Amino acid sequence: MVEQQPRPCPACGGQQGTEKTRHSVDLDADGRQVHRQHTYWSPCTTCGGTGLSL
């Protein structure tokens, strides 16, 4: 039986996750709309954050 070697996950390229950006619009003190951008790291949903695929 041939044992499979783990390979980098094709979805995240072995990086264990991806950077995501969330956009929202808030109101400032004067009632004007202000664009907000929040960037965060999220574990890969394909490999569960391991960075590997069998």
- Please name the amino acid found at residue 1: M
The mean per-residue pLDDT over the stretch 1-20 comes to 89
Please report whether residue 11 resides in a domain.
Answer: no
| Separation between Cα atoms, residue 50 and residue 30, nearest integer Å | 46
Please report whether residue 9 resides in a domain.
Answer: no
**Looking at the predicted structure, is the pLDDT value of residue 29 above 80?**
yes
Number of other residues whose CB lies within 10 A of the CB of residue 14: 16
User: Angle at Cα 34 formed by Cα 29 and Cα 36, nearest 5°?
Assistant: 125
Please report whether residue 23 resides in a domain.
Answer: yes
pLDDT score, position 14:
94
**How many residues does the structure list for the chain?**
54
The mean per-residue pLDDT over the stretch 44-52 comes to 94
**Total structural domains within the chain:** 1
Please report whether residue 4 resides in a domain.
Answer: no
Helix (H, G, I), strand (E, B) or coil at 35: strand
Nearest Cα to Cα of residue 43 among 8, 12, 22? 12
